[in-house]
Amino acid sequence: MIRVITIEREYGCGAGPIAQKIAARLGWRLWDQLLTQEIARLAHWEESVVEKREEHRDSLYYRLLKSFALGSYEGSSPPIEMLDADSIVRISERVVHQAATEGNCVIVGRGSQHFLRSRDDTLRFFLYASRGEKVRRLVSEGKNKIDAEDLANRIDDERSAFIREYFHAEWPERSIYHAMINTGSGDETVIQAIMTFLEQTRSQRPSPHQAA
Instruction: Give me the phi and psi of 198, to 5 degrees please.
Output: -65, -45
pLDDT in tens, 41-69: 999 999 998 998 899 886 543 444 444 44
pLDDT number for residue 58? 63
178 and 125 Cβ atoms separated by less than 8 Å? yes
Least confident of 58-72, 121-135, 192-206: 58-72
pLDDT number for residue 204? 73
pLDDT number for residue 210? 45
pLDDT at 32 over 50: yes
pLDDT in tens, 127-162: 999 999 999 999 999 999 999 999 999 999 999 999
pLDDT number for residue 68? 46
For the chain, the straight-line distance linking the first and the last C-alpha, in angstroms and rounded, comes to 9
For 102, other C-beta atoms within 10 Å of its C-beta total: 12
- In angstroms, the CA 206 to CA 193 distance is 21
pLDDT in tens, 73-120: 444 444 445 678 899 999 999 999 999 999 999 999 999 999 999 999
pLDDT in tens, 159-187: 999 999 999 999 999 999 999 999 999 99
| Domains delineated in the chain | 4-71+81-203 (3.40.50.300)
